[in-house]
Amino acid sequence: MRGLTTFLRRPQLRGQEVPELRGFGWARARLGRSGQPLGDRICDRSMSTDEQASLAAFLAAHPQVDRVEAFVFDVAGAVKGKWLARDKAGSVDAKGLPIPLSVFAQDVWGCDVAEAGLAFGTGDPDGVGFPVAGRFALVPWLGDKVAQAFLSLRDGDGAPAVADPRGALETIVGRYAARGLTPVVAVELEFYLYRLDNGVPVPPSGGGAASWRRNDTLSTSALADHQALIDAILAAAHGIGIPADGVISEAGPGQFELNILHRADALAVADDAMLLRRIVRGLAAQHGLGATFMAKPYGEASGSGMHIHASVNDASGANVLADAETGAPAPALFHAVAGLVAAMPETMLAFAPNANSFRRFRPDAHAPVSAGWGHDDRSAAIRVIDGAKVGGGAKATRIEHRISGADVNAYLALGAMLGAMLQGIEAGQMPPPPQDPLNPGAGAPLPVEWGAAIERFAGSALAADIFGERLRDIVVACKRQDRAAFLSHIDRFEYETYLPLL
């Protein structure tokens, strides 16, 4: 704790300014009377505070709704839940909704995972899901008669369900709160739009040679081509309280990035990311397209990542990762970086959970293959951003975590990142020297093969400290079953390669 207490004794920063992530940098926004950033409230312009107070209030404000889709996100990030008739949904606020805990012990195809120990030999017990306030909305791709209620799963004592990744992140954020600290987090989320051609995804413009050759980074014409869909996505996001801001065209054909503005509420940011993926996929289908957050949908095109920006505030609102006077990185930032670098090889599965995830990790690509860090170095796994140099002052000093694919479970990814940062801060760890941008792969190698990442996570006491041993083991069991199924599948390319030769 020696490193932590030093930062908590610094003089408070003056004023009421807070950072927001807008596109590529931090901007400033004034706090409203509620203490929340005005920018977030502006993004919530289509929401009524009264109707968001409870599911019953939302239904009263929307008399046309005849059913409610109540759901959680499982370990793979898939939506699992129930459709409730309107007259049955009103009791969910007070009583909750029973959801089998075994939904968190299923593989990516929805099959039970016996090794997880939740479905078999236990009686398959329920947890109780309670609606998360502020997240009620109509489901635009299902019409105006369907509403959604996003649930937080609790155990019999009202604590977060031990098998629920969202509950694990809630617990990790609570550790910060117990120390008078608050993580401030924002994410950048990439995805592809596509059409299907004989069951194979191709860019919306078609699969011609020009589509694959063109680099559409920051292309405004690519945005204009999909203006109606982008407008619908942003409207739906704002309507459910997601402070989605900048949209840019990325390098791949049909690839885009959405920015979610910072919040001093890491759990809400993870909710934002998971709900935004659901919105994008649902609305893309309504517009005649597919949308995918696969980490690498095309072998030769850019992968899709989820970059996470984080700083840490003390009780006064001062950023403990920055020097209060100069805005430059403080010792606490380097302690946090050290925690991240040390934990990275063991927690890789949280950032790359699927078979496809590991196709992103190649030498000389934008996805890092070693546990390194650097000053404003986008080739590094951990990028340190100095607020004094980017013009934002102490509030803009932060860490950017650049490993995660867009396919992650955001609760596990943010949990692994924030848990490792706190471990580094509390232990006063110091990182290795920053990497050389001309030799970015020189750091400790990451397990960039799925099986290795699974087994590193399985044997990790550090992962158990962050997530709890029970959730760690559930995640491992699910991913082992996923991998076993992939290993039993022989694809066409393998036959075409080996049948003529062997």
pLDDT, tens digit, for every residue of 28-47?
232 232 333 323 332 333 44
The predicted pLDDT at position 441 comes to: 64
Across-strand partners of 201?
196
The answer to whether the CB of 271 falls within 8 A of the CB of 238 is no
- Where are the extended beta strands (E) located within 219-378? 244-249, 255-263, 290-292, 306-313, 370-371, 373-375
Q: Which domains does the chain have, with CATH numbers?
A: 172-467 (3.30.590.10)
> Alpha-carbon torsion 21, 26, 30, 31, what sign?
positive
For the residues 297-321, what does the mean pLDDT come to? 96
Assign 16 a pLDDT band (cuts: 50, 70, 90): very low
The predicted pLDDT at position 352 comes to: 98
pLDDT in tens, 72-100: 999 999 999 999 999 999 899 999 999 99
Assign 210 a pLDDT band (cuts: 50, 70, 90): low
Question: Alpha-carbon dihedral of residues 320, 326, 329, 333, nearest 10 degrees?
Answer: -10
pTM score of the predicted model: 0.89
217 φ, ψ to 5°? Answer: -55, 125
Assign 427 a pLDDT band (cuts: 50, 70, 90): very high
Assign 209 a pLDDT band (cuts: 50, 70, 90): low
CA distance 6 to 20: 26
pLDDT in tens, 136-146: 999 999 999 99
- Check residue 333 and report its DSSP letter: H
More confident residue, 498 or 123: 498
- Work out whether strand 255-263 and strand 373-375 pair parallel, antiparallel, or are unpaired: unpaired
CA distance 329 to 316: 18
The answer to whether the CB of 289 falls within 8 A of the CB of 204 is yes
Quote the tokens at residue 173: 């954020």
For the chain, what's the residue count?
502
Three-class DSSP category at 492: helix
Class of residue 15 by CB neighbours under 10 A (exposed 0-12, middle 13-18, buried 19+):
exposed
Assign 282 a pLDDT band (cuts: 50, 70, 90): very high
For the residues 362-391, what does the mean pLDDT come to? 90
- Work out whether strand 126-131 and strand 97-100 pair parallel, antiparallel, or are unpaired: antiparallel
